[in-house]
Chain A
Amino acid sequence: MLQRIRFLPFLPVYVAIYFLFLYLPILLLPVLSFNDAATTTFPLAGFTTKWYASLWGNSVLLQAARNSLIVGVCVSLLSTILGICAARAITRYRFRGQRAAGGLIMAPLFLPEIIVAVSLLMIALQFGLQLSLVTVILGQVVFCIPYSMSVLVSGFEGFDRSLEEASYDLGETAFGTFRRVTLPVVAPAIVSSLLVTFTISLDEFILAFFLSGTEPTLPVYIWGQLRFAAKLPGVLALGSLMILASVVLLTVAEVLRRRAERRTQAALAH
């Protein structure tokens, strides 16, 4: 304690400035979205909710929101199912080529997104696939599996194998064991993965930009609006809603993930 005061009186200040830097951009959008002016200047002009009201009548925007929702639900389901397979294989079994397989699946984390996007665009057009929401879904799943996997692996890791063995010994089938023993323990991690991948899909831009063809998702719609200065307040309002949605989804995911962690730790302690 004494050393901390002597050597690092500036560190808490630094931490505070750093957090200000982190949060300034995402707190600013909601503040400006209630500003009663078409420009983004300080001091603020006054309070209004008219930018939010203007969103409702916009049918192109609502269509984009619907597209985003469809893509998000499909992507989160698909990538979580594939993530469950991979996370289970990696935490439960040992087999040759495990590291290589895991490395390939996690590779999108370490690749520039534009290269993933370009390669998917080429393969889609090569095989004569029409660009649509389907191609966006297929592409975003590649990108979301690594995140789904890292959430699920940490949820599966503490899982006690003897619970499953006991279930087999008591005559339960493989499927029955999974449904009645494994699933309840890992369910929070799975829900957390669903929420995280849904959020990523909702916010993802590059893949959607390259692969969506004539069916824009919300970020692609926003990108199109950014060219027009007059559209900025509406975009700010829409952006604030999207940030709010992300924060809520992620908070729920985090609470569930931690509950899962506590539960597996408790299971280990017994």
Chain B
Amino acid sequence: MSTAAIVSAPEKPAPAKGIRWLHGEEARGLAMISPTLLYALALLLLPVLLVIAYSFWTQNYLDIDRTFTFENYRLALTEPIYRDLFVRSLWISLLTAAITVGFSYPIAWYISFHGGPHKNLWLFLVTIPCWTSYLLRVMSWKVILGYGGVLNTGLMATGIIEQPITSLLYNANAVVITLVHSWAAFAILPIYVSLQKIDRSLIEAARDLGDGAVRSFLRVTLPLSMPGVISAFLIVMIPTVGDYVTPKLVGGKDGVMIATAIQAQFGKSANWPLGAALSVTTMVLVSLAAAAVVLALRFAVRRIR
């Protein structure tokens, strides 16, 4: 009996592959994640799909005409006002990301290589300002850069300037300064993580083989920290393209970005399909720009090596 049982055991019909994964590990994992996943599907994916659907519809006063059309995209891409806003938003987000990453890299490097035993404290100090209210920080920059603001009155009180500088606030520069400040920690953290992962003996090896500090940095440290630089670039660039508060508060007429136009379609002018098309176009354009930047960075690093 016992031998028969052993022999016949493999002949028991094995559960079909498609069913088996519903049991054990996989099933429990899926069950565990399902509340969160369903929430994200219902309140993230579904809404985004609705936006995409709307972008192909049109609005007739209060009714939505559901015939498929590219009209909204034609408007979004050909109207000079939207074209200018897209170009400026992309340019500001690109510039912000480049400056943030460039200025933050040395800080991440310093913490990783010279942070000593208190690296966590350094990182905490870096992140604190970025966690405080975004709206309040933008407001603070407005107070600093304004005509009768802290910087102007302070400089005048110390006698460095006699007339207030008018070019500080209400332009694209003010937007970039404020955004760089807002996103600093988001750039430092990924770069720091990738610097931490570098095997220090590789750098020593480069030095032993005769590379100077600069060369070993360019040929070992920088290329190996590239994943961090790239994710820092993306995590700054993509969200900033749609920033609403900063351009509105410190941008003035010359610093308006696409989010203002999107918001207007959901407020007073109430043209949801056009607002949806502007949103989708923003996402597509910033993704393309981000992809181009990633390729360019990879190429540049390969050239240095």
Contacts and interface: CB of A to CB of B under 8 A. Distances in A.
B36 A86 contact: yes
Interface residues of B, number: 81
A123 B144 CA distance: 39
A115 B279 contact: yes
B54 interface: yes
B137 to A, nearest CB: 5
A118 B279 contact: yes
A258 B240 CA distance: 31
10 contacts: A7-B213, A15-B107, A24-B144, A29-B143, A95-B29, A101-B37, A105-B37, A112-B243, A113-B242, A258-B120
Given A18-B103, A95-B26, A110-B238, A104 B37 contact: yes
A4 B149 CA distance: 40
B47 A119 contact: yes
Contacts, number: 237
Contacts of B251: none
Interface stretch (A40-48, A159-167, A185-193): A40-48
A88 B107 CA distance: 33
Interface of B: 21, 25-30, 32-37, 39-41, 43-48, 50-51, 54, 103, 106-107, 110, 114, 120, 124-129, 131-137, 139-141, 143-144, 146, 148-150, 153-154, 157, 181, 184, 213, 234-235, 238-245, 249, 259, 262-263, 266, 272, 275-276, 279, 282-283, 286
Q: Nearest 3 A-B pairs (CB), nearest first?
A: A112-B242, A93-B29, A119-B47
A156 B239 CA distance: 28
A85 B39 CA distance: 12
Interface of A: 3-4, 7, 11-12, 14-15, 18-19, 21-26, 28-29, 32, 39-43, 81-83, 85-86, 88-90, 92-98, 101, 104-105, 107-116, 118-123, 126, 138-139, 141-142, 145, 196, 199-200, 202-203, 205-206, 210, 219, 222-223, 226, 232, 235-236, 239, 242-243, 246-247, 250, 254, 258
